[in-house]
């Protein structure tokens, strides 16, 4: 659960916030002092108040906590998993002209190890620690040990599993700024001429600016951020802005509060002279309420005299339609009780900080990408950096989905075509980040693999399932099942399989864990109501992925009496296929909607001799049913035949002696996709794909 800041209806909270935030644009002209006591946010009260949202992680006995220790042992990023964090409270002095930070960070946690004799956290060596307080006991720097960016504090008395730990670190320093993935950066926007300082912690830079524990599995239940700077600077952060305190020497403290679970790398701030623009989203599921969208934009003009706000106003206002669309496709925007927002900074792209994305610009795809992360990455976070495609592939695919549902199908098709071009540039390498790549930032965030191919794979998964009325409800179930938690790739696959009843193990093996892509060569002919297809494929990484076993759409142009489908799904891995089409087939097109990632030299052509001379014996109406089946398959034969079940690699799974008439075959032991072949006494053969759920 997530207790609200005030005991008001969520729309009342956001109306209050809107009125308050509107006043912030005049911070340099009027005092914005708010009584800390009246809001229950005095520093002393904050130090001792309870945080009920810790119950989101469940009541934990010592035994339960030790069980979690073994569960998370294989996914830790640093140190050892000896405690579980519940709450952070930042109190930092900041500037917009350098990366300098000074102040303290307090975090509460619960001991998970059987006995804790040393408390640890991560903080880079260039950050100077003045002192550490643990449960009220002060430790000076001489009592600490620092090695490999891990700070260890030997405790004066041991703590047992389940006991509470409050650690408060007083520190200061000037982190180096070294590119996009720096923990803290400070730079000047060349377009708008403003100095900005901002943070970006993903994947390994959180210790650059605050004491932390880099564990994706340990989401923090609540985060309070107090950032102080000199006017006209304003400090943006995650959650709701509940007040601004007026301090001495023209300084203002901006107080942000979030009570929804957050991964360690999604906490952030940015500092500059901002102006504010508010807009609202009205998702269908949020009856009689709305989502606050809070844009903090540079308070500056460009060389043409156009204000930054006016330059970006239309793009900013498009955010509401995106929230509404994604809320309809997936689930209600997960942080609707707080807000969604943007804080500008001169970085090359954007970063999906929870409820407040850091944005370098406001292109349509960038806005939709960072917003989509609020579902895929923020609410449901990848369990390991190996699984980062669950964050970035989904956010990229949502660029397509916004275009498809809000702009046009043509616009979406253009996006997918460009993404295929990018994905094809990686002829090897998997969407899933292998163990050898999880410490390599450029491999984790590979544009061709993690982003573009990840998006293409999700689009192909949609085609593999073959029905949006199954695909999107399965995605919703995934989001609800893993809400405010983490997910592995295999957990995502299992949920999609269970909800759609479509076997997906081969698909994930080939396209997520496998490498490269296929180039298809297809020949076809229509003869006597039968469409003959001869299919082959060459692959770019034959050692890693010798064959791709996905469905491939073919478009049909037919004429004559009867009915025929305009689109069929075939499996190229099966080679020769025969499909009964009553109407004459005049032409066949390969993947008419460009749903499948494939080589640019893929081709399809008619071969008029294909099927000529093949005798279709009188059991060619061989059609096992039901298909898909829950286990029992019925086969009707007009003469005796041997029935052979093979997997898609050709391995024989079972042989059955079929007799004339009805044959019942028990396939309960073989869930998945197989080929069932009938062989007549004269050696004639016919095969069909069967799916067992």
Does a structural domain hold residue 263?
Answer: yes
Does a structural domain hold residue 557?
Answer: yes
Give yes or no: residues 478 and 532 share one domain: no
Distance CA 606, CA 217 (A): 54
pLDDT digits (tens, 9 = 90+) for 397-434: 999 999 999 999 999 999 999 999 999 999 999 999 99
For residue 57, pLDDT over 90 is answered with no
Give yes or no: residues 667 and 586 share one domain: no
Give yes or no: residues 164 and 256 share one domain: yes
Last residue of a domain, one of 511, 536, 566: 511
Q: Which residues of 86-108 are buried (b: 16+ CB within 10 A; e: fewer)?
A: bbbbbbbbbbbeebebbbbbbbb
Omega before 232 cis (within 30°)? yes
409: CATH: 1.10.390.10
Distance CA 95, CA 235 (A): 9
- Average pLDDT of the residues of the chain: 87
Give yes or no: residues 330 and 261 share one domain: yes
Does a structural domain hold residue 461?
Answer: yes
Does a structural domain hold residue 624?
Answer: no
* Of 184, 236, 255, residue with least CA distance to 40: 255
pLDDT of residue 223: 98
pLDDT mean over 49-62: 32
What's the domain range around 663? 632-692
How many Cα atoms occupy the beta-carbon half-sphere of 509 within 13 Å?
Answer: 11
* Of 351, 352, 394, residue with least CA distance to 492: 394
Name the phi and psi angles at 579, rounded to 5: -130, 130
Give yes or no: residues 444 and 321 share one domain: no
For residue 39, pLDDT over 60 is answered with no
Last residue of a domain, one of 333, 351, 375: 375
Residues 506 and 587: beta-carbon distance below 8 Å: no
21: CATH: 2.60.40.1730
How many Cα atoms occupy the beta-carbon half-sphere of 489 within 13 Å?
Answer: 25
DSSP string, 494-556: HHHHHHH----HHHHHHHTSS-S-EEEEEEEEEETTEEEEEEEEEES-TTT-S-----EEEEE
Distance CA 233, CA 339 (A): 21
Give yes or no: residues 418 and 317 share one domain: no
Does a structural domain hold residue 242?
Answer: yes
Give yes or no: residues 309 and 432 share one domain: no
Residues 552 and 466: beta-carbon distance below 8 Å: no
Give yes or no: residues 240 and 364 share one domain: yes
pLDDT digits (tens, 9 = 90+) for 355-402: 999 999 999 999 999 999 999 999 999 999 999 999 999 999 999 999
pLDDT of residue 65: 35
Q: What percent of the chain has pLDDT over 70?
A: 86
644: CATH: 2.60.40
For residue 669, pLDDT over 70 is answered with yes
Residue 179 or 152, more confident: 152
* Of 552, 606, 560, residue with least CA distance to 583: 560
Give yes or no: residues 662 and 552 share one domain: no
Give yes or no: residues 146 and 294 share one domain: yes
Distance CA 240, CA 39 (A): 13
Give yes or no: residues 411 and 291 share one domain: no
- The CA-CA-CA angle for residues 685, 687, 689, to 5°, reads 175
Q: How many structural domains does the chain have?
A: 4
pLDDT digits (tens, 9 = 90+) for 328-339: 999 999 999 999
pLDDT of residue 54: 29
pLDDT of residue 180: 81
Give yes or no: residues 481 and 404 share one domain: yes
- Alpha-carbon distances, residue 511 vs 458, 468, 545, 548 (angstroms): 10, 20, 9, 8
At 687, is the pLDDT very low, low, confident or very high (cuts 50, 70, 90)? Answer: confident
Does a structural domain hold residue 454?
Answer: yes
Residue 646 or 443, more confident: 443
Does a structural domain hold residue 314?
Answer: yes
pLDDT of residue 34: 30
Distance CA 278, CA 327 (A): 19
Does a structural domain hold residue 247?
Answer: yes
pLDDT digits (tens, 9 = 90+) for 255-306: 999 999 999 999 999 999 999 999 999 999 998 899 999 999 999 999 999 9
Residues 524 and 607: beta-carbon distance below 8 Å: yes
pLDDT of residue 529: 87
Last residue of a domain, one of 486, 511, 536: 511
């Amino acid at each position: 659960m997530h207790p609200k800041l005030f005991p008001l209806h969520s729309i009342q909270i956001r109306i209050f916030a809107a009125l308050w935030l509107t006043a912030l644009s005049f911070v340099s002209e009027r005092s914005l002092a708010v009584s800390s006591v009246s809001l229950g946010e005095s520093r002393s009260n904050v130090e001792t108040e309870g945080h009920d949202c810790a119950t989101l992680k469940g009541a934990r006995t010592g035994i339960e906590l030790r069980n979690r220790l073994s569960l998370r042992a294989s996914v830790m990023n640093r140190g050892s998993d000896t405690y579980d964090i519940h709450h952070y409270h930042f109190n930092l002095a900041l500037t917009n002209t350098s990366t300098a930070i000074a102040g303290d960070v307090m975090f509460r946690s619960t001991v998970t190890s059987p006995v804790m004799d040393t408390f640890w956290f991560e903080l880079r060596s260039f950050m100077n620690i003045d002192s550490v307080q643990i449960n009220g006991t002060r430790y000076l720097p001489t009592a600490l040990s620092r090695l490999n960016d891990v700070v260890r504090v030997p405790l004066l008395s041991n703590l047992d599993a389940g006991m509470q730990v409050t650690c408060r670190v007083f520190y200061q320093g000037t982190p180096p700024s070294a590119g996009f993935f720096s923990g803290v950066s400070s730079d000047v926007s060349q377009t708008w001429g403003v100095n900005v300082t901002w943070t970006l912690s993903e994947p390994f830079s959180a210790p650059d600016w605050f004491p932390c524990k880099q564990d994706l599995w340990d989401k923090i239940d609540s985060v309070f951020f107090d950032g102080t700077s000199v006017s006209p600077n304003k400090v943006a952060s995650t959650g709701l802005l509940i007040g601004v305190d007026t301090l001495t020497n023209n300084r203002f403290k901006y107080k942000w509060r979030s009570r929804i679970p957050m991964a360690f790398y999604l906490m952030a701030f940015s500092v500059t002279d901002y102006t504010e623009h508010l807009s609202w989203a009205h998702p269908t599921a949020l009856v009689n309420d709305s989502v606050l969208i809070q844009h903090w934009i540079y308070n500056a003009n460009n060389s043409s005299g156009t204000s930054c706000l006016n330059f970006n106003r239309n793009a900013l206002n498009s955010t509401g339609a995106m929230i509404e669309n994604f809320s309809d496709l997936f689930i209600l925007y997960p942080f609707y009780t707080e807000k969604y927002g943007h804080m500008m900074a001169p970085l090359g792209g954007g970063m999906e900080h929870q409820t407040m994305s850091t944005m370098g610009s406001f292109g349509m795809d960038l806005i939709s990408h960072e917003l989509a992360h609020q579902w895929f990455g923020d609410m449901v976070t990848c369990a390991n950096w190996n699984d980062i495609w669950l964050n970035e592939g989904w956010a990229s695919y949502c660029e397509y989905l916004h275009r498809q549902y809000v702009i046009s199908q043509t616009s979406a098709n253009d996006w997918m075509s460009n993404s295929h071009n990018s994905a094809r540039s990686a002829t090897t390498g998997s969407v899933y980040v292998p163990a050898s790549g999880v410490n390599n930032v450029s491999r984790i965030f590979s544009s061709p693999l993690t982003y573009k191919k990840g998006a293409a794979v999700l689009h192909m998964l949609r085609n593999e399932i073959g029905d949006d009325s199954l695909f999107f409800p399965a995605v919703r179930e995934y989001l609800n099942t893993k809400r405010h938690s983490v997910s592995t790739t295999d957990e995502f696959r299992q949920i999609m399989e269970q909800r759609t009843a479509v076997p997906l193990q081969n698909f994930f093996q080939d396209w997520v864990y496998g490498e490269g892509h296929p180039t298809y060569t297809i020949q076809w002919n229509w003869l006597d109501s039968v469409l003959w297809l001869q299919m082959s494929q060459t692959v770019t990484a034959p050692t890693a992925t010798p064959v791709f076993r996905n469905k491939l759409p073919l478009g049909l142009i037919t004429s004559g009496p009867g009915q025929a489908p305009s689109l069929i799904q075939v499996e190229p891995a099966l080679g020769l296929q025969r499909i009964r089409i009553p109407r004459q087939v005049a032409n066949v097109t390969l993947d008419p909607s460009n749903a499948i990632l494939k080589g640019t030299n893929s081709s399809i052509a008619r071969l008029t001799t294909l099927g000529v001379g093949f005798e279709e014996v009188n059991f060619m109406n061989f059609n096992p049913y039901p298909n898909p089946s829950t286990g029992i398959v019925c086969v009707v034969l007009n003469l005796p035949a041997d029935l052979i079940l093979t997997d898609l690699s050709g391995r024989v799974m079972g042989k059955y002696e079929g007799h004339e008439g009805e044959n019942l075959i028990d396939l309960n032991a073989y869930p998945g996709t197989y080929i069932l072949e009938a062989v007549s006494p004269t050696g004639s053969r016919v095969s069909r794909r069967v799916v067992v759920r």
